[in-house]
Amino acid sequence: MKKLFFVLFALTYYSFHADAQRFGYVDTQLIVEKMPEYAIAQSELDKMSEQWQKELEDKGKELSKMRLDFEAEKLLFTDDMKKQRMADLEAKEKEIRDFQTKIFGVEGLLFQKRVELMKPIQDKLAEAIAKVARKRKLSFIFDKAGDLSMVYSDPTHNYTEIVIEELGLKPKEKK
């Protein structure tokens, strides 16, 4: 009986206060793509990634050459020489795996650089969204670009263009 009373009280309480809350949504991906800082950061990340990828490919070519040389000459080697060459090949493979993890791994240099470059952009965006929310007296702003799945969204609650204007960026042209 107490549970039923509590549930009815909660439903009644929240139904009276639900219309007092205002909400909206933004598409942060669209906003970020309009920010010149994002394009600069993305360009820098792409250059670094290409450079590291080339280094990785060069190391792979070096390993392939070492393997080919070993296969071509292994008949001439003593057992000790074969073991040494095999150890050299394994060391090179490990070096490549370590390099790949160091650069492209979950906590690798590319990830760290992305965080470093994107944090100021995300902070600026969050500040603009907060300003819009305060000006418009919104209780919640959802991100349409995030993991939140919006099956339907009424365009009257879309504050993306307002945040773009708050950031001083060029709004979308009306058709």
Domain boundaries, the chain: 19-166
Query: Is the dihedral angle over the CA atoms 117, 147, 124, 126 positive or is it negative?
Result: negative
Tell me if 132 sits within 8 A of 138, measured CB to CB. yes
pLDDT by residue, tens only, the chain of 175 residues: 444 334 434 445 544 455 567 888 888 999 999 999 999 999 999 999 999 999 999 999 999 999 999 999 888 889 999 999 999 999 999 999 999 999 999 999 999 999 999 999 999 998 998 888 888 888 888 888 876 666 455 677 788 888 888 888 876 665 5
Tell me if 144 sits within 8 A of 153, measured CB to CB. yes
Which amino acid, one-letter code, is at 28?
T
Task: Give the pTM.
Answer: 0.69
Closest C-alpha to 128, from 70, 68, 168, 72: 168
Q: For residue 100, give the H/E element and its range.
A: helix 79-104
DSSP secondary structure code for residue 158 in this structure: B
Buried b vs exposed e over 98-107: b needs ≥16 C-beta within 10 Å?
ebbeebeeee
Distance of alpha carbon 82 from its chain centroid, rounded?
A: 45
How far, in Å, CA of 171 to CA of 168, rounded? Answer: 9
Question: What does residue 137 show for φ and ψ, rounded to 5 degrees?
Answer: 55, 50
How far, in Å, CA of 107 to CA of 109, rounded? Answer: 7
